[in-house]
């Protein structure tokens, strides 16, 4: 009588906990992206003053009459270089003492260079501002800003907490506007599709494994109890 092991070799779809976390992440992030893309078919045009008076239910916006100053900015460094710059957006003429409700996020290297030079310079403040303006004059002169506000669970859990620790006088409900970004329905649909595909493959693998084990047990008991 032969007794074979009841172990079935795991296939590439038997990802266990990692697989379920991957599926969950793809479905949540992709689903949120699809929702935002469908909700924001066109950017909402609104002045910064009107935005602060009554914050709209929109993620894709064109902010008009915006005032930006690099002197108030902060940046995130990676491997010794400026990777991302956060710049407060205010209504024209608003006091710098007022809480910041909108941060502009940009990875523009001209802006990053200007901010780095501004921080390292020992010149008086008015000369610092002039030097920065020469390197990133379009940022200082631009009045309309189009971008996509950050959203989602990961942003709420991590990025907001990290930025809130900065000395930037941020309002409790501040948002980050990614410069020039727009909703991408195609990419997010692909993420949802990938999550569903991995789930389907894992389900098929689990069903196949369960069927294999049932057949092996049945063969095992038949060998032990022949009729």
* 79-110 per-position pLDDT tens digit: 777 778 888 998 888 888 889 999 998 887 77
Residues 150 and 104 in one domain: yes
Domain that holds residue 211: 17-40+186-222
CA–CA dist 211, 222 (Å, integer): 17
Higher pLDDT, 128 or 101: 101
What is the pLDDT averaged over residues 209-218?
Answer: 81
What is the pLDDT averaged over residues 48-52?
Answer: 93
* Residue 132: pLDDT over 60: no
Residues 48 and 110 in one domain: yes
The position carrying tokens 């379009």 is: 138
- Is the CB of residue 88 less than 8 Å from the CB of residue 72? yes
Residues 176 and 97 in one domain: yes
Residues 205 and 95 in one domain: no
pLDDT tens-digit map of 166-187 = 778 888 888 899 999 999 999 9
Kindly report the pTM of this predicted structure. Answer: 0.71
What is the pLDDT averaged over residues 216-226?
Answer: 74
What pLDDT is stored for residue 17 in this prediction?
Answer: 77
- Cβ of 79: how many Cβ atoms within 10 Å? 5
Burial of 63 (0-12, 13-18, 19+ CB in 10 A): buried
């Amino acid at each position: 009588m032969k007794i074979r092991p009841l172990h079935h070799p795991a296939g590439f779809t038997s990802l266990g906990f990692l697989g379920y976390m991957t599926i969950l992440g793809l479905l949540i992030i992709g689903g949120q992206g699809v929702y935002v893309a469908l909700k924001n078919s066109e950017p909402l045009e609104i002045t910064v003053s009107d935005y602060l008076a009554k914050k709209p239910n929109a993620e894709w916006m064109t902010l008009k009459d915006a005032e930006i100053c690099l002197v108030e900015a902060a940046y995130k460094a990676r491997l010794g270089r400026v990777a991302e710059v956060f710049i407060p957006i205010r209504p024209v003429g608003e006091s710098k003492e007022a809480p910041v409700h909108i941060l502009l996020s940009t990875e523009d290297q001209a802006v990053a260079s200007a901010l780095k030079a501004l921080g390292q310079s020992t010149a008086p403040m008015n000369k610092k501002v002039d030097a920065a303006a020469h390197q990133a004059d379009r940022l200082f002169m631009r009045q309309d800003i189009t971008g996509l506000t950050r959203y989602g669970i990961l942003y709420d859990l991590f990025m907001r907490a990290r930025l809130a620790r900065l000395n930037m006088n941020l309002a409790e409900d501040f948002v980050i506007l990614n410069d020039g970004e727009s909703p991408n329905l195609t990419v997010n649909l692909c993420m949802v599709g990938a999550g569903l595909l991995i789930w389907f493959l894992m389900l098929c693998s689990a069903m196949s494994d369960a069927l294999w084990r049932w057949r092996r047990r049945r063969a095992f008991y038949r060998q032990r109890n022949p009729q």
